Amino acid sequence: MKGPMTVTRRATLACGALALALGVAGMASAQDVSFEGETVDIMVNFAAGGGTDTAARLVAPFVARHLPGSPNVIVTNRGGAGGTAAVDYLIDSVPPDGRHIGYFAGTPIRWALGLQQVPEGTGELPFVAARSVNQIFQVRTDVGLTADTFHNYDGPLFIAVNSADNHVSIRARFLADALGADEFELITGYRGQGNMVAAARASETELAQTNDSFFGANREAITGDGVLEAFGQMGEYVDGAIISQAGLEDIPVFDAMWREYSPDTLDSPAYEAWEAIHIAMSIQNVFVLPPNTPEEYVPVWEAAVLAAYNDPDYLAQLATAGVPAPAAVGTEAVLERMNVLRGVFQDDAVRGAVEAAIARNNE
């Protein structure tokens, strides 16, 4: 049986050495960096009011708190081109002065899968830190779908999603195929997680998906009246394993279902792609500086971002809102995981499994 992929097993020594060298070089003069009296700009690659923007605005004041000199902070938005317009803008038009940083959702997964063009050089940008994003699937309670019945489920299952080729849809197809749910189909085109939940509540679909932040903040509204219930979660990739997200331990993890009901497929290209996409989602929302930003700013921003995600006041704010805390990693882990993704998705069999899943979703 194949065990969990670890990033160190697939990462090259060159990538680790690069991250280490970057950290050592930056620390020599990082102590001289101060933002006192300054304003720092965190640029989000999606429009205001969405999940990415909300997550950025929640953590931004705490990042500023932990930057030397406790600067003012503003959050700006540059949506467009599926989130890649802001990446272009960061590369071409943002001054590399250490006071501007991107908060980008989706860049690692798009770059790894090659499903949507990302600007040349994206993989070599100064990545500072990243946080994970989890997905939770809701199901109508009258369907009778559980971890046990999902295996060889006899009947149609429709899920509301926004597109047939994103990470949610690809993983959902892998899972349904592994568990033998032959009549698993997508209904695409929904904009916004609230609309997906509404579709399931209105019996347009049996299933809907939300991310962890949306589900946590709206859990009572989604499941409180008993029409929908949380069926399962994609989970988080932590220390080489796919596990439940802290605060959502009561929701089954799909990877555990796969391992229990289809252990003979754990050596397949589909499972390798499944696992790699989970790794990508562990760095789904990244903080990244403009190219040519002086190296001393990288460890300063890294320390501030990681401190913000562990700040007791930030965690208390999430708890009050009912939002589970995400896992966060620093520069070296981001580079290692991106290097893993580069290697995995260069494999023809793995890419073929992804392409086949997308084709099935588009039928």
> Across residues 274-293, what is the average pLDDT?
94
Whether 159 shows a pLDDT value over 70: the answer reads yes
Whether 238 shows a pLDDT value over 70: the answer reads yes
Whether 113 shows a pLDDT value over 70: the answer reads no
Contacting residues for 174 by C-beta, under 8 A, at least 6 apart: 270, 271, 273, 274, 353, 357
**Of residues 234 and 109, which shows the higher confidence score?**
234
Whether 18 shows a pLDDT value over 60: the answer reads no
**Of residues 269 and 239, which shows the higher confidence score?**
269
Average pLDDT of the chain is: 87
User: Any idea what DSSP says for residue 253?
Assistant: B
Question: What is the Cβ-side half-sphere exposure of residue 50, based on CA atoms within 13 angstroms?
Answer: 16
Domain range annotation of the chain: 7-133+280-348, 135-264
Confidence of residue 266 (pLDDT cuts 50, 70, 90): very high
The CA distances from residue 221 to 64, 196, 224, 279, 284, in Å, are 33, 14, 6, 30, 26
Whether 4 shows a pLDDT value over 60: the answer reads no
Whether 11 shows a pLDDT value over 60: the answer reads no
Task: Compute the distance between CA of residue 57 and CA of residue 45 in angstroms, rounded to an integer.
Answer: 13
Write down the pLDDT at residue 209.
Answer: 93
Write down the pLDDT at residue 108.
Answer: 64
Write down the pLDDT at residue 192.
Answer: 81
CATH fold match for the domains 7-133+280-348 and 135-264: yes
Whether 178 shows a pLDDT value over 50: the answer reads yes
The correct CATH number of 135-264 out of 3.20.20.450, 3.40.190.10, 3.40.50.800, 3.40.1050.10 is 3.40.190.10
Residue 68 burial by CB count (10 A; 0-12/13-18/19+): exposed, middle or buried?
middle
Domain at 7-133+280-348: CATH code: 3.40.190.150
Q: What is the pTM of this model?
A: 0.85
Structure confidence by residue, pLDDT tens digits, 184-204: 999 998 878 899 999 999 999
**Of residues 125 and 299, which shows the higher confidence score?**
299
Exposure b/e, 305-341, CB count within 10 A at least 16 = b: bbbbbebeebeeebeeeebbbbbbbbbbbbbbbbbbb
Contacting residues for 243 by C-beta, under 8 A, at least 6 apart: 235, 236, 253
Structure confidence by residue, pLDDT tens digits, 58-86: 999 999 999 999 999 999 999 887 788 89
Amino acid identity for residue 24 in this structure: V
Spatial contact of 282 and 273, defined as CB atoms under 8 Å apart? no
